[in-house]
Amino acid sequence: MRPPRGVLTALMVGCAILWLLPVVWVLVTSLKLTANIVKLPPEWIPWPATLAHYGEVLFSSSRTARIGRAFLNSTIVSLGAVVLVVFTSALTAYRWPACAFRAATRSSPSSWAVS
Amino acid sequence: MLDGLRLSFTNARLGRAQHAFVGLANYQRLLDDTRFHVSLVNTAFYAVASTLPILAVPLALAIALNRGMALRTFLRGAFFFPFTLSVVTVGLAWLWLLDPVVGPLNYYLRALGLPARSWLADPTTAMWAIILTSVWWVTGYYLVIYLAGLQDIPRDLYEAAALDGAGGWRSFWAITLPLLRPVFLFVFVTHIIGSFQIFGQVFILTQGGPGDATRTVVQHLYETAFQNFFQFGSASAMAWVLFAVILVFSLLQFRLLRGHTQY
Neighbouring CB atoms inside 10 A of A94's CB total: 9
Q: Which chain A residues touch B93 with a CB distance below 8 Å?
A: 22-23, 25-26
Does the ipTM surpass 0.85? no
Handedness of CA B117, B120, B125, B128 (dihedral sign): positive
From A7-21, A51-65, B213-227, the region with the lowest mean pLDDT: A51-65
Q: Is residue B6 one of the residues assigned to a domain? A: no
**Predicted pLDDT at B13:** 67
Q: What percent of chain B has pLDDT over 70?
A: 90
Report the alpha-carbon distance of residue A81 to residue B251 in Å, rounded: 27
Which residue among B71, B97, B183 places its CB closest to the CB of A22? B97
The answer to whether B20 and B11 have CB atoms below 8 angstroms apart is yes
Residue B173 sits at the chain A interface (C-beta within 8 Å):
no
Residue A114: pLDDT band (50, 70, 90) is very low
Cβ–Cβ pairs < 8 A, chains A and B: 84
For B67-91, the pLDDT digits (tens) are 777 788 888 889 999 999 888 889 8
**Predicted pLDDT at A82:** 94
pLDDT averaged over every residue in chain B: 82
Residue B35 sits at the chain A interface (C-beta within 8 Å):
no
Q: Is residue B145 one of the residues assigned to a domain? A: yes
Is the pLDDT reported for residue A103 higher than 90? no
Residue of A nearest to B250 (CA): A115
The answer to whether B259 and B187 have CB atoms below 8 angstroms apart is no
Is the pLDDT reported for residue B263 higher than 50? no
Average pLDDT over residues B188-212: 83
Which structural domain range is residue B155 located in?
33-257
Q: Is residue B209 one of the residues assigned to a domain? A: yes
Q: Is residue B213 one of the residues assigned to a domain? A: yes
B66 CA: distance to closest CA in chain A (Å): 11
Is the pLDDT reported for residue A80 higher than 90? yes
What backbone torsions phi and psi does residue B164 show, to the nearest 5 degrees? -80, 0
Who's near A20: CB < 8 A, 6+ residues apart?
B78, B81
User: What is the pTM assigned to this prediction?
Assistant: 0.79
Average pLDDT over residues B244-258: 82
DSSP-derived secondary structure letter, A3: P
Q: Is residue B22 one of the residues assigned to a domain? A: no
For A26-64, the pLDDT digits (tens) are 898 888 887 777 877 888 888 888 888 888 877 776 766
Which residue among A2, A20, A114 places its CB closest to the CB of B168? A2
Residue A25 sits at the chain B interface (C-beta within 8 Å):
yes
Judge: B78–A25 Cβ closer than 8 Å, yes or no: no
Who's near B57: CB < 8 A, 6+ residues apart?
B135, B139
Is pLDDT larger for residue B70 or for residue B153?
A: B153
Q: Give chain B's domain count.
A: 1
Give the CA angle between residues B89, A83, B143 to the nearest 5°.
50
Who's near B90: CB < 8 A, 6+ residues apart?
B82, B133, B136, B137, B201
Report the alpha-carbon distance of residue B113 to residue B111 in Å, rounded: 5
B123 CA: distance to closest CA in chain A (Å): 24
Residue A115: pLDDT band (50, 70, 90) is very low
Residue B142 sits at the chain A interface (C-beta within 8 Å):
no
Judge: A5–B85 Cβ closer than 8 Å, yes or no: no
Q: Map chain B to HEC letters.
A: CHHHHHHCCECCCCCCCCCCECCCHHHHHHHHCHHHHHHHHHHHHHHHHHHHHHHHHHHHHHHHHCCCCCCHHHHHHHHHHHHHCCHHHHHHHHHHHCCCCCCHHHHHHHHCCCCCCCCCCCCCCHHHHHHHHHHHHHHHHHHHHHHHHHHCCCHHHHHHHHHCCCCHHHHHHHHHHHHCHHHHHHHHHHHHHHHHCCCHHHHHHCCCCCCCCCCCHHHHHHHHHHCCCCCHHHHHHHHHHHHHHHHHHHHHHHHHHCCCCCC
The answer to whether B220 and B9 have CB atoms below 8 angstroms apart is no
Is the pLDDT reported for residue B231 higher than 80? no
For B3-38, the pLDDT digits (tens) are 777 777 766 666 666 666 776 777 777 777 778 888
Q: Is residue B100 one of the residues assigned to a domain? A: yes
**Predicted pLDDT at B119:** 81
Which residue among A8, A19, A38 places its CB closest to the CB of B79? A19
| Cα B189 to Cα B87, B148, B158, B193, B255, distances in angstroms | 21, 17, 28, 6, 11
Q: Is residue B7 one of the residues assigned to a domain? A: no
Q: What is the CATH number of the domain that holds B228?
A: 1.10.3720.10
Judge: B258–A111 Cβ closer than 8 Å, yes or no: yes
DSSP-derived secondary structure letter, A65: H
Which residue among A1, A8, A16 places its CB closest to the CB of B167? A1
Is the pLDDT reported for residue A86 higher than 90? yes
Q: Is residue B102 one of the residues assigned to a domain? A: yes
